Structure 1
Amino acid sequence: MKILSVKSVIVLLAAVAVPSISMAAACKPAISEAEVKTTQDKWGKGLVEIGAAKNPKAEAEKFIADIYAYQNGPVLFKPTVASTDEFRQTPEEALSYFVTGQDKEDKGFALAPYTKVRFENHAITYDCNTAVSMGNYYFTGKDGKETKVTYTMGFVKEPDGKVKINIQHSSLPYVAEKAKDKKG
């Protein structure tokens, strides 16, 4: 049995207690702000292209393979208008949400169609190999009206240098109920 010195125990406890400090100091973020914004832009344009395509299913399959990191492991995807089956763990489930409607509640979100998607990032955080953005994105319909959606997206960089999405959570903004008249 090896006995640790008091100094060793203090150093060990400090490393365990504050891993984020030592981790942050040990690496330079692999993903830049420009790469996050480029990937967001690519996501928005891809969604518009699905809705405008002659073969939306084929366009969506290409989009999912190109923008999401499903081939590298789990993607945590919670679509905007999903409440019964809330998460899309596979490329096939993402395809159902965007165009095919294999799941009962999926109506083909990308088929609206949208003419534009714009992002307003609240903030972007960076780690050694990942980045996370949070904010609002706005979907412009054919009528020119925008729908505001709140999002969080996580990004990873693949060995070939491509930045892909491995986390996406979207939801319509919270709307407080009007106070009910309690007199009657």
Structure 2
Amino acid sequence: MTANSIRVVGPVHANTDHGSAITEQEILATQQSWAEGLLQVGRDYSAGGITQATATADALIQQVYGYNLGPVLFKPTLANGESTFRLTHEGALSYFVGNNPNYQDNGFALMGWERYEFNNAGVYINGDMALTMAHAKFFNQQGEATLVEKTWGFKKDTAGQVRIILHHSSIPFAS
């Protein structure tokens, strides 16, 4: 019989400076910036290849994620194995554009998405931090939708910008 165990990686310490309270409108704007950025990465890939897409994805990560606050807890949609959970900018960039031998990603943003829809099931706000759970649909050129479940954590930084500090994404369970 195998013993149960919990692997402890160690505590994650983030910047504890508190800004002003997050509003639901700021959360929605951050979600929209993320999704618009994802579509732009794909368009740039089609127009200019992997170099242009990587530059756009890098700019998006710097714009919406909270790596300036500490590690971002990131679980990409189609990740598995040793690289399932990511705490670095490099891991997030690989999710968007692949092209990194340290990860098994093909680049979620490079899949030809044309549009998106978000449906937040719930929004929880507690001061300068917030959580959401949502269904996100991404539509390809043929109008076919891929449904993704997203849980995001947000924190307002000292400059007043809402940043994503938790990104968990998965394909719905099918029995």
Note the 1:129-168 alignment, pairs <5 A. 129-168=128-167
Structure ranking higher on relative contact order (CA contacts 8 Å, 6+ apart) = 2
**Aligned residues between the structures:** 150
State the partner residue of 1:23. none
TM-score when scaled to structure 1?
0.78
Alpha-carbon deviation of 1:78? Answer: 0.3
Q: Distance in 1 between matches of 2:155 and 2:62?
A: 14
Alpha-carbon deviation of 1:39? Answer: 0.5
Q: Distance in 1 between matches of 2:115 and 2:53?
A: 16
SS at match of 1:58: helix
Alpha-carbon deviation of 1:104? Answer: 4.2
Residue deviations 1:108-138 (CA, integer Å, cap 9, x gap): 1111121112210000001122010002101
Instruction: Give RMSD over aligned pairs.
Output: 1.7
State the partner residue of 2:4. none
Q: Distance in 1 between matches of 2:32 and 2:106?
A: 24
8 Å Cα contact 2:97-2:109 kept in structure 1: yes
Q: Distance in 1 between matches of 2:142 and 2:103?
A: 27
> CA 1:122/1:154 → structure 2, altered by over 3 Å: closer, same or farther?
same
State the partner residue of 1:107. 106
Q: Distance in 1 between matches of 2:53 and 2:65?
A: 17
TM-score when scaled to structure 2?
0.81
Q: 1:58 aligns with which of 51, 55, 58?
A: 55
Q: Does 1:49 align with 2:40?
A: yes
Q: Distance in 2 between matches of 1:104 and 1:154?
A: 23
Q: Distance in 1 between matches of 2:127 and 2:43?
A: 37
Q: Which runs of 5+ in 2 are unaligned?
A: 1-19
SS at match of 1:107: coil
Residue deviations 1:43-98 (CA, integer Å, cap 9, x gap): 10000000001210100110110010012101011000001111121111111121
Higher helix proportion: 1
Greater gyration radius = 1
Alpha-carbon deviation of 1:140? Answer: 0.9
State the partner residue of 2:78. 81
Q: Distance in 1 between matches of 2:39 and 2:145?
A: 14
Q: Distance in 2 between matches of 1:71 and 1:159?
A: 10
Name the aligned partner's letter for residue 99 of structure 2. Answer: G
SS at match of 1:114: coil
Runs of 4+ in 1 over 2 A off after TM superposition: none
Q: Does 1:69 align with 2:66?
A: yes
> CA 1:128/1:104 → structure 2, altered by over 3 Å: closer, same or farther?
closer
Q: Does 1:40 align with 2:31?
A: yes
Q: Distance in 2 between matches of 1:105 and 1:82?
A: 7
